[in-house]
Amino acid sequence: MTAATPVIVIRPAVVADAGLILAFIRELAEYEKLSHEVVADEAGLAAQLFSERPRAEVLIAEVDDAPAGFALFFHNFSTFVGKPGLYLEDLFVRPAFRSLGLGKRLMLRLAQIAVERDCGRFEWSVLDWNQPAIDFYRGLGAIGMDEWTMQRVSGDTLRALAAKRPD
């Protein structure tokens, strides 16, 4: 007897998923050894993701109705291309579901959304130590942008920068 083929669904998140999204974020942070950086809370996520003007969108992957993974993304804009881009902030599949191709399904759906919305680019960052993820992305045709280095200001540094006066 063969096992039944699992039913896989990729769907847009709804406000009732805010707690699940936060759980996925925490699981991803644990995997990336960055749990100490997660300060998000469920109410804040719900307000940012499901308000009249959402700041980002989320796809949820389910296997036989069980939450298995997510992708959080938003739009940016390329002045060089003159079009919006789609930026993938987080992609995560729970370990028990990693052999089912969910990451690839989420990436394919994101690529479809980018094309449907006339985006000129679909981009994301990956930690340089995460070779399995790099290999996965390269297998999809992604090209590393090694000549670009991400810069960031946040927290107190961001507030200090915002308070500075130009000389």
Q: Tell me which residues are annotated as active site.
A: 137
| CA–CA separation, 153 and 85 (whole Å) | 22
For residue 130, which of 74, 92, 97, 161 has the smallest C-alpha distance? 92
Residue 96 makes CB contacts below 8 A (sequence gap 6+) with 68
CB 62 within 8 A of CB 34: no
| CA–CA separation, 38 and 45 (whole Å) | 12
| CA–CA separation, 43 and 26 (whole Å) | 15
Side chain identity at residue 23, one-letter code: A
